Structure formats: structure tokens, C-alpha cells
A and B are shown apart, each in its own frame.
Chain A
Amino acid sequence: MFRMRLALAVGLTAIAVAVGLVLSGAPVGVAGSDGIPANFAVEFIHQSEVICQAGGTVPAGTSAIRVSLSPNVGPAVGLEVFSGPTLVTKGNHPAGWGVDETLTVPVATVPRTIAQARICATIGPLVEPLQVNGARVTSPSGASAVWLRMEYLRPLSRSWLSRLPAVASVIGVAHAPTGAWVAYLVIAVMLALCALVSRVLLRECR
């Protein structure tokens, strides 16, 4: 019984700590983009390839890059950001993502703003054609190419916890019943569930 109580206490404490950590973090927001419009389905990629394109200005603090690729089940995607010949940051996302119209690839945080960045996207083996939402451009060499829309994401200033009232009010907007109280009711019900589950475990699982 002691072991069970201990396991329960450790487990619930771990959940509480993890929730606290998550809520103290901040959501990411768009800090910049490459300026390419995300035109729907300008091309389909049928096999592995590398797309290199101008990336415009990548802001300092960028920790993820959102690229305009769309599959049902997506391939592995790697990104490399260059400043001239120097690799500034890189990241990758494993295969299996989707269904999405975009993919967010986490990258090592960019330490300083990179002007005239060059970004290469490496598309892994494909299970199905990969839809590109971007724009057809003529490169400086005169060749036609399809470029992806890329958005540079970095953490915003306010934490999730400080946004809680705003998030609660949004939950109550397009819903029935309406009102922020619905969000707080969900929190209360989930806390009650935690208590109920603990009580039942203590009574039955021994």
C-alpha cells in the first residue's frame, strides 16, 4: 500500500510540475517571413529533393521555421539556414506528419538576425506526392523554380499562464454554452477527475 501511495504521489506531483513548466513557457509567434506568398498547390513533389532558396531576413531568436508543404503523411524534412557560406542553424522533422497545410520544423535558436539568408530544405523519401504551397519564381540565373513560403517563429514575451484569461474567453466564443466560465468548468472537472481517479486507485488497486 505504501508503494502504491508513493507512486500515486510521485505521479501526480510530476504532472503538476510539468503543467507548471508548460504554463510558464510562452507560445511561439511569427517574427518574420521570406515574403513568398503561400499560393495553394503550385506544384507537387514526387521524389526526394533539395530546395534551396533566398530566405530574406531571419530574426534573432528564431527557434522554428514553418514551411508551406502539405501531405496526408509527410516525409522527413530537414532545413539548413546559411548566412553566406556559413551554416547558422539547422533542424529536421521526422516522417509521418500531417494532415497539414504547413510543417513547423524546430531549429537551434538563431543567435543574431541574419540578413539575406539562404535556406535549403531537404525533402526525404515520399510515400505520396507532396503538395507545395508557394510561388513560382525566376531565379537570378534565369531558371524557373518553385519557392516555399517560410515563416520564422520565436517565443512571444508573455507566458501561457498570463494569457489564461484571454484563452478562456476565446474558448467561450464559438461554442455553446458561451462564456469564459466554460473553460474554468473544464479545469474544475479535470481536477475532480484527478481526485476521483486517485481515490479509486487507493481503494481498488491494492
Chain B
Amino acid sequence: MSGLGRPTTRLPVRPPTPPEETYTPPAPERAGKKAREGTSPGARRAGRLLGACARTLRRVPRVAWTCALVATLNAACWSVITPPFQVPDEPSHFAYVQLLAETGRLPTSDIGAFSPEEETGLRDLNQANVRWHPEVGTISSPAAKQQLEHDLAQPLSRVGSGAAGVAASEPPLYYALETIPYYLGSSGTLLDQLELMRLLSALMGGLTALFTYLFVREALPGAPWAWIVGGLAAALAPLLGFTSGAVTPDAMLFAVCAGILYCLARAFRRGLGWGLGIALGVLIVVGLLTKVNFVGLIPGLALALVVLARRGIRDATGARLRSAAPQAVAVMAIAASPVCLYALRNLLEHHPMLGIVSNAANLTGVHESLTSDLVYIWQLYLPRLPGMFNYFPGLSTIRQVWFDRAVGLYGWLDTSFPTWVYSAAIIPAGLIAILALRGLWGARRALRARLGELAAYLVMAAGLMALIAQDSHVHRSVEGVGYAQPRYLMPLLPLAAAVLVLAARGAGRRWGPAVGALIVILFLAQDIFSQLLVVSRFYG
């Protein structure tokens, strides 16, 4: 029997969260009291905090941890097969971490040499000649290897001019975290440090998959069997593995955004309580301190908080609604605090108030009209309408830029499949889209009650896409359409996973699990062949 037309609010076939995986009651109070006798208040508070953290972690379903494990191992494999510094901007990100770790200072410029150690490594790895030259593989001769090992063993300076290339304008949080593996590997060579740093990114990839699973579990509670489809497909997505297997703040941005989407889905389902509100506020701060692109999500987040505040929260008995405005205001206050501090510092130092964001706005104001901006943004994602200036002659951006590049484009965007692969990929993608629409249609009654939530997600997606397109428009004379990279949309991965869950549900209860398994296998296949592609390009 088909699942078409069934509302998602019906009672689930299985309990949505098996008891042994969802809630572990806290230890009896008396036992705790006895254990706490004779300890200081500070230690007791720390103990309580640790206990709360442990209880929260125990409440995470085991299957979510499995998704995290799959994503981490997958990203770790990517970190091994991708040659050092053959990921977009990895030399700049490494230079940022090195500068921070060695001097405690942030980059002062985007132009200038990296440290002598990194420059030597890049030279011996033949990095500049391998990048963008698909016909040139990595170094492979014993002589080249010997030279690399010899040079990296020299006591070369790890401090450069203070430049960090394109990474210079990024916030410091990810780079600060990466100093930990950098220090751990400091007794080894630059390559040891790079690999350890990549493994930290891989752990962040695991967090992304974990939160993605938790997101679909909260957002689509009607069919528990389908949650794993979203979780595993996200964990196996090659773009997540490739990006999280490298040194790039994108890895952390994906995890933070997945965490935020999970918190929002939970708040929309259960109400915005104080705990969730504070967690959301802190995650937004972390996002703002991770990568500038996060700013694109702010309008959607603001809308979500307005909807949540208006919706209110039920009291302990579940009967009476009270306002959630205080919690929403608290989230906004926590989230705005670093921005206010940043703006204040810039004003005191006579810099543009919002730093790089102000610069981008000024660039736009000088060179382009609002209409041309909007037309460009539209065409970067959608077909041109009659009367619009054609920014992309001979190019279908949705198909030949976004879709093809999401199917597979690795290295410095120089490693692609044969063209027939992209054509063939349209078939499963089309089938998934049809099934997802069918799933959406089946859930239309539940959807009506959740329009506010859906609008918030859509505005988040639109905001991020507009930010990317705007940046692309401003810099198009230099970068062309180089900003059109699907990895910039990966913060929306949990929403894509929800589409896959809907597709599995769209196949109906009878065929759904089989279709769901095929969707996961499809992503596994894409991942395996993407890795083979990278191996053939760099080592073949």
C-alpha cells in the first residue's frame, strides 16, 4: 500500500526513539549527595556540569553516533588520498594556523609569502604545477621524495610575513582550534602537522553527520525507519568527505550549521526553552567566529526566532502556552554580542564598522546597481527570464555549474569525471526529486501547520545563496564564476538530507525502505568513485 496522502502526524509504526537509546535517567540523588560530601562548591558545580554533559551525550541515539563514525572515517580516507595542499585554499588556511600558533597573532595581510617552511614544502611538493593541471600528478620519484624529506628536516623558520592569502579575512575560531593538532605534531614535519589538522576537520565532519541525523529525526518524526537514510547519505556525501578531509573552516561551518538546524528543528517541535535557547545563541556565536559566509544565514535565523517567540512554549503539564519571547531575545543578545564587540573595536580603531562585510557592501555600492545584483543572483541559480541581461551565455548554471560540480569536482576544482557521468547522474537525481515531491505531497497536511518553520529554513537557504552570488558578482572580473562552488552550500546539508528522507517516504511504506537503501548505496557509490577519480588524477 502506498503511503501517499498519509499525514506525517499519524502515530509512528515504531516508537520514534527507542527507550534504551533516548533517555538514560540520572543517577539517584542520594548516591550523588554521598559522593559529594567534603567537596568544594566549585568542584560540585563542575561535577554537575560534567554529569549533565554526560547525560546529554548518553541521550544521543547510538545510530547517530554510527553516522558520525561513518562520516569521520570517510573524511579520514579523503584526508589520506588528497595530496597535501591540493584542496582549494589549503595553503592559506595552513598559513593562518601556523601564524596563530607560532606568534599568537592574526594575519595582517592577504598578500605576501608564507613561512619559509611552508614555502619550501609547497615548492618540493610541486604544488603550483600540480594545481589546475589535471595532467600533472603529485611527486612520485625517490629523488623528489628524498629532497622533500631532506628540506623539511631542516630547521626552517615557521614564521612568515604575516600573510595568510585568502584566509586572512576569516574569523579565527577554526584556526585557533587547529593550533591544537598543529602543536601535537610540532615535533614532526609540516606534513605530519597537516595530516593531524586534517583529522580534526574529519572529526568535525562526523559532527556534521551526527547533527544531520538528529535534525531529520526532529524535523520529520513521522517515519523513524527513514531517518537513517538522511544520516548515512550525509555521512557518505563525497563533498562532505573531501572538504572535511582538509584544512578549511568550511568543515567547522558545516558542523555548526547542522547543529543550529538541529536546535531549530527541536525548538519548532518542542518549544524554545532556556537550555535550547542558550545552546542556539552559543552556536550562532561560534558560527560567526568560524566563517564569514555564516552571515548569510542570519536573516533566516532571525525569522525562525520571531516565529518561535510568537508560537510560545508549553508549560510542564503541556497544557498552557506561555510566551517564548524572553528566550528568543536572549538568543539574539548572545548572538549579537560578538558582532557588537567587533563593531566597537573597528570603530575605535577607525576601521569600517563591519570589517570585510562593510568592504563588500561598499564594493557593491560603487560598481553595481541593486537591479543588476538581483538579476545576477537570480541567474546564478535559476534560468534567465525574458528581458534580463544574460550574465551566463551558453551556460546552464543550475545544471552545468551547481549540479555537475555537486556530482563531482575535486582538487583545486580541476578533477572531474568524464562528461557522461554528469549526464547519467541526472536520472537518479530526477527520480529522487520526484519521490521527494511525492513525499512532500503526502505530508501536505502536516506541512500546513509548519509553514513558519519551512519559511525560516527557506530564508536561511536563500540568504546563504544570495551572499555567495553577491560575492561572486562583486569579484566576477577577477574570479569569473569561481565562487560558484557547491561546498559553499554545504551548510544546508541537513536540509538536503531531509529531502532524501522525504524521497524514501515518497516511495511508500512498502517500497520506502528498499528505496532508502538504494539512495544510501547511491551515495556510497558516488563516494567510492570520487575517491578513485582523485587517486587516478593525482597518482595514476
Binding site for B on A (CB under 8 A): 1, 3-4, 6-8, 11-12, 14-15, 18-19, 22, 27, 30, 48, 66, 70-73, 75-76, 93-102, 104, 106, 124-128, 151, 160, 163, 167, 170-171, 173-178, 182-183, 185-186, 189-190, 192-194, 196-197, 200-201, 203-206
Contacts and interface: CB of A to CB of B under 8 A. Distances in A.
**Chain B CB within 10 Å — which of A11, A151, A174 has the most?**
A174
A95 B394 CA distance: 7
A128 B405 CA distance: 18
B148 interface: yes
A189 B73 contact: yes
A201 B412 contact: no
A6 B412 CA distance: 39
A66 B135 contact: yes
Contact of A175 (B66, B83, B414): B83
B137 A102 contact: no
A163 B139 contact: no
Nearest to B61: A204
Given A125-B394, A125-B395, 18 more contacts: A4-B514, A19-B532, A30-B135, A72-B479, A72-B480, A75-B394, A96-B401, A101-B132, A160-B540, A174-B138, A176-B191, A190-B77, A193-B236, A204-B227, A205-B228, A205-B513, A205-B520, A206-B513
13 contacts: A1-B513, A4-B513, A12-B521, A73-B484, A75-B395, A97-B416, A125-B393, A128-B480, A193-B74, A201-B517, A204-B228, A205-B226, A206-B513
A14 to B, nearest CB: 7
Interface residues of B, number: 81
B529 interface: yes
Given A160-B536, A170-B137, A186-B77, A11 B518 contact: yes
Contact of A3 (B69, B73, B513, B535): B513
B91 to A, nearest CB: 14
Interface of B: 63, 66, 69-70, 73-74, 76-77, 80-81, 83-84, 125, 132-135, 137-140, 144-145, 148, 188-189, 191-192, 194-195, 225-229, 232, 236, 391-396, 399-401, 404-405, 412-414, 416, 418-419, 476, 479-482, 484, 510-511, 513-518, 520-522, 524-525, 528-529, 531-532, 535-536, 539-540
A174 B83 contact: yes
B525 A18 contact: yes
B394 A174 contact: no
Contacts of B404: 96
A95 B80 contact: no
B401 to A, nearest CB: 6
A189 to B, nearest CB: 6
A93 B419 contact: yes
Nearest to B394: A125
A14 B188 CA distance: 43
Contacts of A94: 400, 419
Contacts of A4: 513-514, 516-517
A174 B125 contact: yes
Given A66-B135, A104-B134, A128-B480, A99 B236 contact: no
B84 A175 contact: yes
A176 B195 contact: yes
Contact of A73 (B83, B226, B232, B480): B480
A197 B539 contact: no
Contacts of A196: 66, 69-70
B521 to A, nearest CB: 3
